[in-house]
Amino acid sequence: MDIKKKAKAELESRVRKVENLIAEKGVGSSYLSRAKRVQRNINLAIAVGGIITIAGLAAWALNRRDEDER
Q: How far apart are CA 23 and CA 17, in angstroms?
A: 10
| pLDDT tens by residue, 2-48 | 899 999 999 999 999 999 888 888 888 888 889 999 999 999 999 99
Q: What is the pLDDT of residue 12?
A: 96
pLDDT band at 1 (very low <50, low <70, confident <90, very high): low
Q: How far is Cα 2 from Cα 8, in angstroms, rounded to an integer?
A: 10
Distance CA 24, CA 31 (A): 10
DSSP letter, residue 70: -
The answer to whether the CB of 23 falls within 8 A of the CB of 32 is: yes
